[in-house]
Structure 1
Amino acid sequence: MPVRDLTTEDFLAYKTVSAGAFSGFFDPSAPGAPQGFSPAETALGIDAATLPGGLEGVIAAGARIRHDRLALGGGTARCGGIAGLAVHPAHRGDGLFGTLLTEVLARCRDERMALSMLYPSNPAIYRRFGYQVVARGQSLIVPLVDLQRIPAVPGRRLVPVTAETMPRLRELYHRLSAGDNAMLRREGPLFPEELPGGGWSALLLVDEDGADRGYVSWTRRADAADGVGLEVHELFGRSREDRLALLRSLGSWSTVTELIRLRLRTEDPVLDVLPGGGARPDPRPVPLVMMRVIDTAATLRARRAPAGLAGAVRLVVEDATVPAGTCAAAGTFLVTAAEGALTAVPAAGNRAERGSGAEPEAGAAEASLGTARLDIHAASLLLVGGRTLADARRLGLSAEADPAAEGFLDTLLAGPRPSVLDAF
């Protein structure tokens, strides 16, 4: 069952399979319906005609790899976002899922992606291939009566987001999410420059000097059965006062609705200024985000070392979830931090899987280094940031280290827990 690149000629057959699995139907004549794969995607599939009893012109299994970048430890890393992975109902149970996903991971390696990300409906099947849950979507139902009590913030005013002011919002997003872990950088062509459609609206918050301080974006919901009249997608502010001013602006919607749904980052600073005790968890299912290390050295090199951290550790990553050579995650790596710089290279004599783009380190006095040993699930959890080796062990993952090595890695990988506000 050979896996091949899909082309524009395969697009309708692929969308028929993927839409049937996820949304039910794809109408290519509908306004705005895509007519082909994005130039920032790699599409892979298996022809049904290569399988027993398969028909010509049918895609038995297919998936798309998005070429994204995400924020990571103060830097950025390339990430393969896996979307629309589906198997035709006529060919389920024949092992196509594993064959296709293994080739997807190998292609991520070949295209120099450090990490892979996906949103699972069934986490267990992806975990078998090394993916680990790293984040959960968070939303609160907030009564607007709570927000009406917020006093006015002096020196702040609101500006509509239009085609002219949208670049300012994008710049704010880049600046205010740069210190997070796993937030997509939202770059073209996957993220177009124009205003989002579908009723999306937003306001910029500016100070007395005209400097941008934050923004809030939302979609109005008419006749919502659950009483939630406003979906608030994002609320970002430079300071507590900015976030209070933006929350106060949402209180003005109380004339048309009583409740809003406020989407949050993990440990969102908005939680520290949200007034009142009326907010409650969103009752809808919690979306999961899974990630997997594709290239250990590249993932580490994408980060910046914390100021004042100096030292080195031998990091051993074990990966028995995919055939050897599929990824560049497994192996032994020499990780060094000094003066804010971070290096990660295969250790001398290491048989690290190909793809890291680094040559083996030779001649270092490696016998004196502390050692940490992680399985692929612990590595995928920890290298995205915001967790300690002890956290990984609490989850039943394999994460063992000498005391000095554990302290080094915990410091190196510290930071906010991963947040993802985009879905695909």
Structure 2
Amino acid sequence: MSVRELTSDDRPAYRRLTAQAFGGGAVEEVPGPFPEGEIPLGVDSTARPGGQEGVLAAGARIRRDTIALGGGTTACGGIGGLAVHPAHRGGGLFGELLAGVLARCGAEGMAFSMLYPSNPAIYRRHGYQVVARTERIVVPLGELQRLRSVPGRRLVPVTEATMPRLRRLYTKLTAEDNAMLRREPPLFPAGLPSPPWGAVLLEDEAGADRGYLSFSRIAPGSDGAGLEVHEIMGRDRDDLLALLQHLGSWSTVTTAARVRLRTEDPILDVLPGGGLRTTGDIVPLVMMRLVDTARALADRPAPAGLTGSVRLEVRDRTPSATACRADGCWDVRAEGGVVHVEQTSRDEPIPPAGVHETPQAWARLDVHAAALLLAGGRSLGDARRAGLEAEADAAGEAFIDTLLRGPRPSVLDAF
């Protein structure tokens, strides 16, 4: 069966397919281009028993995303709109389409694939691993008015003229993160997001940008929140205090705000905790699949001062293994802030130590542990506690844990 790239003529058929799968309004039956920055793939219904002309048996889109990786960046295939036609379900088409999607990710030079699943189990069978979750909390705004004022800070409205400053600041503030999207065109248009989105920049007395808060005014829900806060980011604790104090000024029009958090978000250490509540929503999970082990390692800078090497083996026994370059064995060396990766054979023995040398360190991971660790911010101990296969000698574990350190992955899909 052939998974092919869709064209503008396939747009109506794909829209019908996704409307059936996910809901939606009337489908525009006029051919047209898919969004720039996306790769649409599909399988024709005529390739399946009982298939019909003009129908897609399955389809998906790959976003050409770039993500932060511990001070570097790497290409990542963001998977969306993956659907199988009701008439063609149950025959293995989902797995075949996903394998085709992952093979295209590899051909495009993507180190990872990422998605936000409604059913994690079906993706886990194909090598995806939960690496993060997006959460929201409800913050009573009256409590924020008690925060101390921060001298030397002022707010600037975000307009078409100042939005480039916010984008540059976002890139700086997330550069050392793991998995945060770079939010670059064409997937993220250069202008302001659509209303009712709004934002304020925080700057110091010299005019240097220190942080920002982005928000949308919403109708109050059952939790009392009349403000959706998309992000609060600052360079330091004082910047976060100043932004949270500003957030408290909204108490004149609503009693609470719903605040989206990064993993281990620094604002949790600044917020008054007495009245914080969870939203009660379903927690959105983020799953990542390792597509190219060597690229995922080489695209990450080595921490300053780290020198050493490890023989790393990744075992991928999932149905999608042949579509990826995750399975294999590599000699991984860190020197001068750079990670060097050279593939070797599993049958090649670990070099013995010479008279004045120590034995070569080693580590062995299954593909789920590899996705968890190479996404950054987790240790082999974390992988073992999650029930994943993660073995190493003492030197190999210390090297891997140091190389892949950093904040745990966070994924926020928009400003």
- TM-score tier, shorter chain, comes to over 0.9
RMSD: 1.9
TM-score, L = length of structure 2: 0.95
Q: Distance in 1 between matches of 2:383 and 2:277?
A: 29
Q: Write the mapping of 1:158-237 to structure 2, written as runs, cut at 5 A.
A: 158-237=155-234
TM-score (norm 1): 0.93
Q: In percent, how many aligned pairs have the same letter?
A: 62
Given the alignment of the two structures, is residue 272 of structure 1 paired with residue 269 of structure 2, yes or no? yes
C-alpha contact 1:28 1:35 (8 A) present in aligned 2: no
Deviation string, structure 1 residues 239-271 (Cα, Å, up to 9, x no partner): 111101101111111111111011111111111
Is 2:335 the counterpart of 1:346? no
Alpha-carbon distance in 2 for matches of 1:199, 1:7: 33
Q: Which amino acid aligns with 1:407?
A: A
1:201, CA displacement in angstroms?
0.3
**What does residue 242 of structure 1 align with?**
239
Q: Does 1:373 align with 2:360?
A: no
**1:259 corresponding residue in structure 2:** 256
Quick check: 1:287 aligned with 2:278? no
Q: Say if 2:21 is the partner of 1:21.
A: yes
Measure, in 2, the Cα distance between the counterparts of 1:177 and 1:191: 16
Q: Does residue 105 of structure 2 align to residue 108 of structure 1?
A: yes
Task: Please give the alpha-carbon distance, in whole angstroms, between the structure 2 residues aligned to 1:89 and 1:198.
Answer: 36
Separation in structure 1 between the aligned mates of residue 245 and residue 207 of structure 2, nearest angstrom: 19
Q: Secondary structure at the match of 2:193?
A: coil
- The SS at the match of 2:362 is strand
Name the SS for the 2:10 alignment partner.
helix
C-alpha distance in 2 between matches for 1:329 and 1:222: 46
Partner of 1:356: none
Return the offset for 1:326: 1.3
Q: 1:323 to 1:92 in 2, by over 3 A?
A: closer
Secondary structure of residue in 1 paired with 2:310: strand
Q: Residue deviations 1:198-251, cap 9 Å, x none?
A: 410000011111111100000100243432100000001011111011011111
| Structure 2 match to 1:305 | 302
- Residues 1:405 and 2:396 are matched in the alignment: yes
CA distance in 2, matches of 1:238, 1:88: 48
Q: 1:217 to 1:117 in 2, by over 3 A?
A: same
Mind listing any 5+ residue stretches in structure 1 that lack a counterpart? 352-361
Distance verdict in 2 for CA 1:280–1:330, change over 3 Å:
same
Choose which of 382, 386, 407 in structure 2 pairs with 1:416.
407
- 1:388 is displaced (CA, Å) by 0.7
Partners of 1:71 and 1:183 within 8 A in 2: yes
State the AA in 2 paired with 1:271. Answer: L
> What amino acid sits opposite 2:376 in the alignment?
G
Q: Letter of the aligned partner of 2:365 in structure 1?
A: L
Q: Structure 2: which amino acid aligns with 1:404?
A: A
Once residues 160 and 34 of structure 1 are traced to their aligned partners in structure 2, the CA distance between those partners, rounded to angstroms, is: 40
Q: Residue 19 of structure 1: CA displacement? A: 2.6
After the TM superposition, which parts of structure 1 deviate over 2 Å for at least 4 consecutive aligned residues?
A: 23-29, 33-36, 222-226, 322-325, 362-368
Secondary structure of 2:322's match? coil
Which of residues 143, 146, 164 is equivalent to 1:146?
Answer: 143
Deviation, 1:61, is 0.5
Deviations 1:12-66 (A, max 9, x none): 110121132123335439xxx9953123111110111221111110111000011
Do the aligned partners of residues 71 and 325 (structure 1) sit closer, same or farther apart at CA in structure 2, a change above 3 Å counting?
Answer: same
